[in-house]
């Protein structure tokens, strides 16, 4: 404005109207400013309240995940301890120092666990750590111990807060019952978490000066309380606000509410009930804390309003300042979003989001480790390329169920499903996803957010354990059947042979007689039948030693013949079986493992051929010497063949082309592993509709390897009246063997090993002692040890007889001592060779019991 204009007089009418107009203008401006500032203040308060609500929800969810992870790891550890205890106890080899080291290793994997211990059935500390001198660690009066003792099937129990007997500090206890081999109660495995450690962990969460974090047990008792004001921990206090109590009575598992706590501070709370244990995680932010900035802003706005009437420039400056504050708040929100995104992208599980049209809008980088896709690729490709069709239908169904939940129940309703993820290279990955819907304020579905975890390894381990347990059970059953059959077969075989020999002598002495001829023929047929049973049991015993890892020269042709006998019923209704066993050297392997390979290949060939038309189909098994000197075994079938697209995966674990329930998908994988472990090869040629040809190549046994020698020709009869002691707990077996030897030997028969040892102590000696290896009162190895102390020469003349069932101790004993050993049932020729050698390493006895 120029100076001339300043000197221009103002009209009176203008001056008279200027003040009211100015007053009105200022009043209007002030009123608008008051309305504007008042509205801004209220919006700011609502905004701060919404932020506090979101913060409590996020903190409660994070704490639930953190504490739930601890409880889940502890529960899995207790299950591992219980399984290990049951396995070691059942095997009768529970070694306290080794088991204590095992407990220490398990505890070291969970930093939050203060102690991992095992208490016996009386509640007394048995494993884990030693009690201080003069202190007996006894938990028999603890409620969780009594409950598990009364009902061992309860699973894992979480105790209320209690004071440890040894630590004298508050702690939380998780316990699981231990079972004896007969299923009875054997004690408990206990993991304790110090409450002070939990409280220390909660200190890492920022809840402001008067905020509070509380963990309550299912009965609402305080487990641990973290309050920045330093309030003491009130263990077991069940005092809760009326608002929380009302929500719990209405069945809410998670909710956000406002109220005044027992300390008189108004807070915004979010609680979540942990699904696994029922504990409540409660997070509260004090209104005084999160509204402190808002109150300061309100005071400042009031000052601005007061100054606004004095100077418009100040109003402009205050407006600029408010804008800057708004920018700071936006920046703060952006930083929080960045922190949350960083947390999501550093997680090992895949975190993802979809919009309302079910399009992927975000995938965390963990998807590349899971399936080979980059996050950008995963967001671009279509669902059928990411998930198998059954998985897509399963997820759609779960989303539909979630969509039926009332919006006010979100975001606490979620779904957990297992499905298959299709990797970039076409692999199928077993995964587990948990997700929930995102809702708008007006009840519209905005999308969904979820977490996907790779569970392939877990499923593989579960399936391998099931297969291993099944194979162990079959092996134990086969060994038991062989042992139980061999004992009666011994006296049937021996007595029939004895009767046949006596009738022959009668026939020679009295001349040919019709009835005697018929009796001789009947006995010959009975002996042939017993011999057939003997060979069947021997084949069965070979497959009962699948875990025997010893390598020895194995006759592949003999193994194949045994497998064909075992599968004759399966193959007979499907195909004609032809066998061409060319001359091949032995291979250095385990007979049981080679048998497992051959059995799997023959069974697979049979399963590839439909039942009902055996004349139209063939299964051919052949052996030959390959050009490179290796032993070649070929199994060919005229079955359905294998499709080219699945051929590269047939040796993968759990891959199968059979229907549901018809196979585990481990047969060919196990064959592949066994053959590779023997430095061999296995391959396949196939054509759809024409059949398959599996070929196994195995290196021959080295020239220095010692094979089980074939039985030598029958030696001349033992010198007359050789003294023999037959020691077997089965009287029929002992008498049958004694009867067989009685013509040429002076035989003593005993069923009492203790009495036999007394006779040795008194000075009696025998040229040969035939001793049963497995006897209930005193085992054969114990008899050998006792005689070894008295007369090592007599101990060297002990020949061990076995029906096929072995303990680990018996197997190790037979591998250690040089004594001859015989498999039941015994035949006279074998006995003659043993007696001829005086029990010292007779031909054919080196592996008879192994």
**CA angle in degrees (0–180, nearest 5) for 392-397-401:** 145
Q: Are residues 735 and 667 in the same domain?
A: no
Q: Answer yes or no: is pLDDT of 256 > 90.
A: yes
Distances in Å between the alpha carbon of 701 and those of 623, 710, 808?
Answer: 16, 17, 27
Q: Are residues 676 and 563 in the same domain?
A: yes
Region 684-694 average pLDDT: 91
**Average model confidence (pLDDT) across the chain:** 80
Determine the pLDDT at residue 538.
62
Q: Which of 267, 292, 317 lies at the terminal end of a domain, its last residue?
A: 292
Residue 812 is part of which domain span?
A: 722-836
Q: Are residues 146 and 254 in the same domain?
A: no
Residue-wise pLDDT tens digits, 517-575: 667 666 776 767 666 666 666 656 555 554 455 688 999 999 999 888 878 878 888 99
Q: Are residues 166 and 210 in the same domain?
A: no
Q: Are residues 617 and 655 in the same domain?
A: yes
Indicate whether 300 belongs to any domain: no
Sheet strand arrangement including 722-727: 745-750, 722-727, 768-772, 798-802, 821-823
Indicate whether 51 belongs to any domain: no
Determine the pLDDT at residue 540.
60
Residue-wise pLDDT tens digits, 753-766: 999 999 999 999 99
Q: Are residues 741 and 676 in the same domain?
A: no
Q: Are residues 702 and 561 in the same domain?
A: yes
Q: Are residues 700 and 561 in the same domain?
A: yes
Distances in Å between the alpha carbon of 340 and those of 7, 168, 447?
Answer: 65, 40, 19
Q: Answer yes or no: is pLDDT of 845 > 70.
A: no
Tell me which H or E stretch contains 338. Answer: helix 312-346
Q: Are residues 726 and 700 in the same domain?
A: no
Indicate whether 655 belongs to any domain: yes
Residue 797 and residue 783 in contact, taking contact as beta carbons nearer than 8 Å: no
Sequence-ordered list of residues with C-beta below 8 angstroms from that of 787, at least 6 positions apart, any chain: 757, 760, 769, 794, 795, 798
Determine the pLDDT at residue 791.
92
Residue 587 and residue 630 in contact, taking contact as beta carbons nearer than 8 Å: no
Indicate whether 751 belongs to any domain: yes
Radius of gyration of the chain (CA): 42
Residue-wise pLDDT tens digits, 420-467: 888 888 788 888 888 888 877 777 787 888 888 888 777 777 766 666
Indicate whether 103 belongs to any domain: yes
Q: CA 408 to CA 437: how far, in whole Å?
A: 12
Residue 587 and residue 701 in contact, taking contact as beta carbons nearer than 8 Å: yes
Long-range contacts of 292-297 (CB under 8 A, 24+ apart): 293/48, 294/41, 294/44, 294/45, 294/48, 297/41, 297/44, 297/325
CATH number at residue 158: 3.30.450.20
Residue-wise pLDDT tens digits, 612-658: 888 889 999 999 999 999 999 999 999 988 888 778 777 776 556 66
Q: Answer yes or no: is pLDDT of 10 > 80.
A: no
Determine the pLDDT at residue 709.
43
DSSP state, residue 616: G
Tell me which H or E stretch contains 186. Answer: strand 185-194
Q: CA 43 to CA 47: how far, in whole Å?
A: 6
Q: Are residues 569 and 673 in the same domain?
A: yes
Indicate whether 689 belongs to any domain: yes
CATH number at residue 765: 3.40.50.2300
CATH number at residue 576: 3.30.565.10
Q: What are phi and psi of 544, to 5 degrees?
A: -85, -5
Region 684-688 average pLDDT: 90
Q: Give me the residues paired with residue 353 across strands.
A: 362, 449
Region 9-18 average pLDDT: 50
Indicate whether 494 belongs to any domain: no
Region 730-740 average pLDDT: 86
Sheet strand arrangement including 681-687: 576-581, 618-625, 631-637, 691-698, 681-687
Q: Are residues 672 and 802 in the same domain?
A: no
Determine the pLDDT at residue 708.
45
- Residue 474: pLDDT band by 50, 70, 90 thresholds? low
Q: Are residues 593 and 700 in the same domain?
A: yes
Burial of 421 per CB tally in 10 Å (0-12, 13-18, 19+)? buried
- Residue 40 has a CB neighbour count (10 Å cut-off) of 15
Q: CA 210 to CA 214: how far, in whole Å?
A: 13
Q: Which of 680, 706, 732 lies at the terminal end of a domain, its last residue?
A: 706
Indicate whether 612 belongs to any domain: yes
Query: How many domains, the chain?
Result: 5
Length of the chain: 850
Region 86-102 average pLDDT: 85
Q: Which of 165, 188, 211 lies at the terminal end of a domain, its last residue?
A: 188
Determine the pLDDT at residue 14.
47
Residue 752 and residue 725 in contact, taking contact as beta carbons nearer than 8 Å: no
């Amino acid at each position: 404005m120029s100076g001339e204009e300043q000197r221009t007089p103002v009209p009176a009418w203008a001056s008279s109207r200027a003040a009211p107009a100015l007053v009105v203008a200022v009043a209007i401006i002030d009123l608008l400013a008051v309305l504007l500032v008042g509205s801004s203040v209220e919006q700011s308060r609502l905004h701060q309240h919404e932020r506090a609500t979101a913060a409590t929800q996020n903190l409660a969810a994070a704490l639930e995940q953190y504490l739930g992870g601890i409880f889940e790891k502890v529960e899995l550890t207790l299950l591992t301890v219980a399984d290990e205890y049951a396995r070691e106890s059942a095997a009768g080899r529970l070694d306290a120092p080794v088991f204590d080291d095992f407990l220490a290793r398990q505890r070291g994997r969970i930093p939050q666990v203060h102690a991992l211990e095992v208490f016996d059935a009386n509640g007394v500390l048995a494993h884990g750590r030693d009690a201080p001198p003069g202190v007996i660690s006894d938990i028999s009066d603890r409620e969780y111990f009594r409950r598990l003792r009364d009902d061992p099937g309860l699973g894992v129990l979480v105790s209320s807060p209690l004071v440890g007997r040894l630590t004298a500090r508050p702690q939380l206890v998780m316990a699981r019952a231990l079972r004896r081999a007969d299923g009875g109660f054997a004690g408990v495995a206990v993991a304790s978490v110090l409450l002070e450690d939990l409280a220390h962990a909660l200190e890492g969460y920022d809840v402001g000066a008067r905020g509070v974090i509380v963990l309550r047990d299912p009965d609402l008792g305080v487990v641990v309380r973290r309050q920045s004001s330093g309030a003491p921990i009130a263990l077991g206090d069940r005092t809760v606000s009326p608002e929380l109590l009302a929500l719990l009575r209405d069945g809410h598992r998670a909710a956000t509410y406002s109220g005044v706590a027992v300390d008189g501070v108004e807070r915004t709370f979010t609680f979540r009930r942990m699904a696994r244990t029922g504990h409540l995680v409660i997070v509260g932010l004090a209104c005084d804390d999160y509204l402190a900035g808002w109150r300061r802003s309100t005071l400042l706005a009031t000052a601005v309003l007061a100054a606004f009437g004095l100077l418009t420039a100040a109003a402009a400056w205050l407006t600029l300042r408010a804008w800057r504050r708004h920018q700071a708040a936006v920046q703060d929100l952006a930083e929080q979003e960045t922190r949350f995104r960083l947390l999501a992208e550093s997680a090992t599980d895949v975190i993802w989001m979809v919009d309302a049209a079910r399009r992927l809008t975000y995938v965390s980088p963990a998807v590349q480790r899971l399936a080979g896709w980059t996050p950008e690729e995963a967001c671009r490709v279509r669902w059928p390329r990411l998930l198998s069709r059954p998985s897509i239908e399963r997820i759609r169904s779960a989303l539909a169920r979630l969509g039926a939940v009332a919006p006010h129940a979100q975001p606490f309703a979620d779904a957990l499903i297992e499905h298959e993820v299709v990797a970039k290279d076409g692999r199928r990955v077993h995964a587990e996803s948990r997700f929930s819907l995102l809702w708008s304020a007006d009840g519209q579905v905005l999308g969904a957010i979820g977490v996907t975890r790779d569970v392939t390894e877990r499923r593989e381990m579960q399936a391998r354990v099931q297969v291993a347990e099944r194979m162990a059970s079959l092996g134990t059953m086969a060994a038991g059947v062989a042992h139980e059959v061999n004992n009666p077969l011994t006296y049937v075989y021996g007595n029939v042979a004895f009767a046949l020999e006596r009738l022959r002598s009668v026939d020679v002495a009295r001349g040919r007689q019709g009835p005697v001829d018929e009796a001789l023929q009947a006995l010959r047929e009975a002996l042939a039948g017993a011999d057939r049973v003997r060979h069947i049991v021997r084949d069965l015993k070979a497959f009962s030693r699948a875990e025997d890892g010893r390598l020895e020269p194995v006759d592949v042709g003999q193994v194949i013949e045994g497998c064909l006998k075992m599968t004759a019923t399966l193959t007979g209704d499907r195909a004609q079986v032809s066998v061409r066993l060319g001359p091949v050297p032995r291979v250095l392997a385990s007979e049981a493992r080679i048998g497992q390979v051959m059995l799997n290949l023959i069974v697979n060939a049979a399963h590839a051929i439909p039942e009902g038309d055996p004349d139209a189909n063939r299964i051919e098994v052949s052996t030959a010497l390959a050009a490179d000197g290796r032993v070649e075994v070929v199994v060919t079938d005229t079955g359905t063949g294998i499709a080219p697209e699945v051929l590269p995966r047939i040796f993968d674990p759990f891959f199968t082309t059979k229907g549901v329930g018809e196979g585990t998908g481990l047969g060919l994988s196990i064959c592949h592993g066994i053959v590779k472990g023997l430095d061999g090869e296995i391959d396949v040629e196939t054509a759809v509709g024409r059949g398959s040809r599996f070929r196994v190549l195995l290196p021959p046994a080295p020239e220095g390897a010692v094979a089980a020698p074939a039985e030598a020709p029958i030696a001349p009869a033992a010198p007359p009246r050789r003294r023999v002691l037959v020691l077997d707990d089965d009287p029929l077996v002992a008498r049958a063997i004694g009867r067989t030897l009685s013509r040429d030997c002076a035989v003593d028969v005993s069923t009492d090993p203790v009495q036999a040892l007394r006779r040795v102590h008194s000075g009696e000696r025998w040229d040969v002692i035939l001793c049963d290896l497995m006897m209930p009162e005193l085992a054969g190895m114990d008899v050998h040890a006792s005689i070894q102390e008295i007369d090592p020469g007599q101990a060297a003349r002990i020949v061990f007889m076995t029906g096929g069932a072995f303990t680990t101790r018996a197997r190790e004993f037979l591998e250690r001592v040089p004594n001859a050993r015989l498999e039941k049932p015994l035949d006279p020729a074998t006995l003659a060779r043993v007696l001829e050698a005086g029990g010292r390493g007779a031909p054919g006895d080196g592996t008879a019991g192994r």
